[in-house]
Structure 1
Amino acid sequence: MPHVAETHIVNRERVQPTHANNYDSAHGGIVMKWMDEIGAMSAMRAAQQSCVTAQMSRVDFERPIPIGDNALVESYAYATGRTSVRVRIDVSAENPHTGETESTTSAYATFVAVEDGKPTPVPDLEVKGERCKELQEKALAEEPNRE
């Protein structure tokens, strides 16, 4: 049974001019692409199989990521359903010289495990230790209302 910490993924993308909008910062669509890719990796670790994006909600763009900074993308799975995995995704601007970070973007996403193109069951997600419990509680407390 996978646990929350095993699904935690951190990735960095250097923001290049080809990633930029008219304001010399990362284009929102590019940031969402990075979020979707890293979020899917967390979901696949939780599901222990391939996953596809079902939905992304409450994508909050709080501040830009300038050209030359790194986009630090972090995600982790915090809950599972019968065939789905819910993932929290956070992005920060990281100064490549100092390592200093500032939160820029956050979102929640749901991925569905698939086998032969059809939804397939996922294992329960185990919460091991205090750090896993903190991550899960934070995600559940801030999660958009689920219907």
Structure 2
Amino acid sequence: MTNLSETVVENREMVQPQHGNMLEVAHGGNVMKWMDEVGAMSAMRFAGETCVTARVNRMNFERPIPVGDTAYITAYVYEAGTSSVKVRLVTEREDLRTREREKTTESYFVYVAIDEDNAPTPVPDLIVTTEQETQLQQEALEGENGDS
């Protein structure tokens, strides 16, 4: 069994010119890729197994991330099934000079744990014990259902 807080993964990606589109902001496909990678890390920390992307629930792009800023991505597991793992992902635009951040993108990914034969394999139970973990789980469940 794994506590929700043990699944938190945070990562940064510097948005370089090759990551941008004609508007000189991060291309949405690059942001999705970065989120998928961080989400998979969170799912694997939880499952103790290789995890592959099964589904993306809603991908909300609220603001652009300009070239030169950093994409700050946070992921955590908020629910688990038999072999599936649900991960909430939030990306923020971060100006490293000022440390200013604002949310740009949010999504909910589902990963499936697989064994050596690439077949689905069981995952442990998710443990939610602290007030902070409960709040994170509630935020994810509300957001997944479109309530946030």
TM-score by length of 1: 0.96
Alignment partner of 1:118: what SS? coil
> Do the aligned partners of 2:79 and 2:86 also contact (CA within 8 Å) in 1?
yes
Residue by residue over 1:84-129, the C-alpha shift from the partner in whole angstroms, topping out at 9 and shown as x without a partner, is 0000000000001011101000000000000020000000000021
Is 2:90 the counterpart of 1:90?
yes
2:96 aligns to what SS in structure 1?
A: coil
Hey, what does 1:40 align to over in structure 2? 40
Aligned length: 145
**Equivalent residue, structure 2, for 1:104:** 104
CA contact (8 A) 2:57 2:144 kept: no
Residue 72 (str. 1) matches residue 72 (str. 2): yes
1:62 correspondence with 2:82: no
Query: Is the 2:113–2:123 contact (alpha carbons within 8 Å) kept by the matching residues of 1?
Result: yes
CA distance in 2 between partners of 1:8 and 1:98 (Å): 24
Percentage of pairs with the same residue = 52
Shift of 1:48: 1.2
Contact 1:78 1:139 in 2 (8 A): yes
1:128 is aligned to 129
Unpaired stretches in structure 2, ≥5 consecutive residues: none
Deviation of 1:144 after TM superposition, in Å, equals: 3.3
The answer to whether the 8 A contact 2:13-2:70 is kept is yes
Aligned to 2:138: 137
1:81 aligns with 2:60: no
TM-score calculated relative to the size of structure 2: 0.96
Following TM superposition, the consecutive aligned residue runs of length 4 or more in structure 1 with deviations greater than 3 angstroms are none
- Alignment root-mean-square deviation, CA: 0.9
Native 8 Å contact 1:8 1:74 kept in 2:
yes
Native 8 Å contact 1:14 1:71 kept in 2: yes
Q: Name structure 1 gaps, 5 residues minimum.
A: none
Matched AA of 2:7: T
